[in-house]
Structure 1
Amino acid sequence: MKLSGSCHCGAVHFEVESKAPYPYMRCYCAICRKIGGSAGYAINLLGDAGSLKIQGAEAKSVYNAVIDGKESPAERHFCSRCGSHLWVWDPRWPALVHPHAGAIDSPLPTPPETVHIMLEFKPDWVNLPDGPGHVHFQGYPDLSIEDWHKSKGLYET
């Protein structure tokens, strides 16, 4: 599925192909919360980094978070004009790019469940949905984004 996205001010537009386009996983880690999640979390998708096409790249900046005192190699791309967070790319997995669901302009499919991760970092003010259709993890989940899509029969071939 082709995903089209942009920043709020329109300076940066991008397209990327995704075989795993369901926005099912909410991350509550401090990095995701603070850089892109006003609801207390951020939602990353999975895309093919080789298919990423960018218009307005000159308006884009990169942030490398510091984790446990060390700079992360993961590049968090955002618009330097309006601050919109666009995607994460990590050289440890160079074939993948993780666009933020909030930056996607294309209609996204509704996931059959919501997976809440990194709950050890969730702030107290965030109400965590519970019950059927909600799965919780204190840290990282057992399945990758690709594996979750495959386990639900949602991975596009």
Structure 2
Amino acid sequence: MPQTLKGSCHCGAVSFSLQSSGAVPYQLCLCSICRKVGGSGGSINLGGITNTLEVQGRENISVYNAVLGNRGKKNEKRATSERNFCKQCGSMLWLFSPEWRVYRLSVDSFSRAHHLGLNRPDLIHPFASAIDTPLTPPEEMTVLMLDSTPDWVRLPEGKKKTFQHYPDESIEDWHKRHGLWAE
């Protein structure tokens, strides 16, 4: 049975709950987006079930679509995924994309989308930093996007797998491999 996760922003203006079948915070993303919007060395996303999301203080949420290229130019490219933040204190809350509800994926993007779990219409990624429910520490970390990591960022200690880009398995696959997936 999926676990109920409760989360909130730092100032308390937004609180939320949702169900998660994959709530072990094992996957650390070090991409420039996660570093810059998170204000740290990276971010950890969990897997959640979209239609279980309940939000209090929705009026205090702002959405950011990350710049993917040509920042500040007419042909600026933005992500379709929505990073939801508290507009009062700036806390990252969750990541969601309306496109994840659509199964039409190009052949070129299918493999990458499958590995990321993006071909799931029910998928939402709460940021572990916003979760108030105690989370199980992972025995092994997955660290991704090393190709965009500056020298000052230190990798976590302990057992880990590292990837220049995206990992070989989705959040669901990782949890299943470790016997931690909750149906």
Fold match, TM over 0.5?
A: yes
Total equivalences in the alignment: 155
Q: Are 2:126 and 1:99 equivalent residues in the alignment?
A: yes
Q: How does 1:2-41 map to 2 (within 5 A)?
A: 2-38=4-40, 40-41=41-42
Q: Deviations over 1:61-100 (max 9, x none)?
A: 0000111341111000000001111000011223111000
Paired-residue identity, %: 53
More moved, 14-23 vs 90-99: 90-99
1: CA distance, partners of 2:156 / 2:137: 16
Could you tell me which residue of structure 1 aligns to residue 47 of structure 2?
46
Could you tell me which residue of structure 1 aligns to residue 73 of structure 2?
none
Given residue 82 of structure 1, which amino acid in structure 2 is its aligned partner? C
2: CA distance, partners of 1:49 / 1:43: 18
Gaps of 5+ in 1: none
1: CA distance, partners of 2:156 / 2:95: 26
2: CA distance, partners of 1:110 / 1:32: 20
Could you tell me which residue of structure 2 aligns to residue 120 of structure 1?
147
Given residue 113 of structure 1, which amino acid in structure 2 is its aligned partner? E
Give 1:108 deviation, angstroms: 0.4
Give 1:37 deviation, angstroms: 4.5
Query: Looking at CA atoms only, which structure, 1 or 2, has the larger radius of gyration?
Result: 2
More moved, 80-89 vs 61-70: 61-70
Alignment match of 2:77 (pick from 53, 70, 76): 70
1: CA distance, partners of 2:100 / 2:136: 25
Partner of 1:2: helix, strand, or coil? Answer: strand
Could you tell me which residue of structure 2 aligns to residue 146 of structure 1?
172
2: CA distance, partners of 1:150 / 1:84: 30
1: CA distance, partners of 2:23 / 2:47: 7
Give 1:134 deviation, angstroms: 0.9
Given residue 36 of structure 2, which amino acid in structure 1 is its aligned partner? K
Q: How does 1:73-92 map to 2 (within 5 A)?
A: 73-92=80-99
Q: Give the TM-score, by structure 1 length.
A: 0.95
1: CA distance, partners of 2:28 / 2:39: 9
Q: Give the TM-score, by structure 2 length.
A: 0.82
Q: Which has the higher helix share?
A: 2
2: CA distance, partners of 1:41 / 1:74: 17
